[in-house]
Amino acid sequence: MNILVSNDDGVFALGIRALANALAADGHQVTVVCPDRERSATGHGLTLHRPLRVNQIEDVFASGVTAWACSGTPSDCVKLALDAILPAAPDFVVSGINHGANLGTDVLYSGTVSAAMEGVLEGISAIAISLTSFACKEFQPAADFAVKLVSQLEKNPLDLPVLLNVNVPPVPADAIKGAVIARQGIRRYFDQFEKRVDPRGKIYYWLAGEVMEEGEVELDVSSGDDQADLDKALSALSNQFMTDVKAIKANYITVTPLQSNLTAYAALNFIEAWQAVNLV
């Protein structure tokens, strides 16, 4: 299999080295195209007002892995790889292993998830994988799971426009309870902007966010009988699948399917009725 690997932690991050080397060791043809430095929390940003520069990287990855460092964002890297660097489309795009969690609402900011989503937008199966700790540096369990998941998808392709967002708990391999399919939970942050002054006397701010709340959120906009069936279906899914936030705390690897379509289907009828009354 031809696999494109990217990340948002940069070309010298331990996580991408563990991932690319593990996939290559399993017999895959691996090409790495990733940022030349850390570009965490860049979301789906693209570079439009300056050129993208790329350099081939040697002596970082295992023999057989071709690697390029790009001056742009994670999304830039995947777009550039697909449209300019690779001679043909890869079979998979795998992004990670991110150093830190991408759970719940983190995925809206994550460069790791956005890089994988670029693959989905081009019709390529994609995986984003993260180790849910900044302190832990043991990436091998996550790399081993990525190899296993790619093998499974090779045998049973996912013919849907979704990416699989994988989070791995920061515990030894024998302490991981298994893998579960999970739905997206929620993480709320308490954002703090620390005011500082640089050596030239100019004020700047440094953003530091701490997780304030973790859990789950449901959209409750019931508005009559025509909404009942959808409400029941959403409720059944909520009861069937744990959130990624809850499952990680129980030391499960979580696999959450994500899509680029952000439509809140449960709200369509509600908004339509509101519009008819107030805007027409």
Give the CATH number for residue 64.
3.40.1210.10
Rounded to the nearest integer, the mean pLDDT of the chain is 89
Domain-embedded: residue 139 = yes
pLDDT at 223 over 60: no
Please state, in angstroms and as integers, the Cα–Cα distance from residue 202 to each residue in 120, 192, 197, following that order. 43, 19, 5
Q: Where is the binding site for a divalent metal cation, in residues? A: 8-9, 40, 98
- What are 33-44's pLDDT values in tens digits? 999 999 998 999
Q: What is the pLDDT of residue 97?
A: 98
Domain-embedded: residue 33 = yes
Three-state SS for 51?
coil
In this prediction, residue 124 has a pLDDT band, given cuts at 50, 70 and 90, of very high
Q: What is the pLDDT of residue 136?
A: 95
Domain-embedded: residue 27 = yes
* 261 vs 127, more confident: 127
Domain-embedded: residue 232 = no
Q: DSSP readout, 194-254?
A: EEEE-TTS-EEEEEEEEEEEEE--------SHHHHHHHHHHHHHHHHS-BHHHHHHTTEEE
In this prediction, residue 73 has a pLDDT band, given cuts at 50, 70 and 90, of very high
pLDDT at 22 over 90: yes
Q: What is the pLDDT of residue 227?
A: 57
Q: Which of 28, 102, 43 is nearest to 74 (CA)?
A: 43
Bridge partner residues of 186 (DSSP): 215
- What are 3-21's pLDDT values in tens digits? 999 999 999 999 999 999 9
Q: Where is the binding site, in residues? A: 8-9, 40, 98
Q: How many domains does the chain have?
A: 1
By the 8 A CB rule, do 185 and 244 touch?
A: yes
Rounded to whole angstroms, the maximal C-alpha distance in the chain is 65
pLDDT at 31 over 90: yes
By the 8 A CB rule, do 213 and 187 touch?
A: yes
Domain-embedded: residue 147 = yes
Domain-embedded: residue 108 = yes
Domain containing residue 86: 2-182+251-258
Bridge partner residues of 56 (DSSP): 68
pLDDT at 215 over 60: no
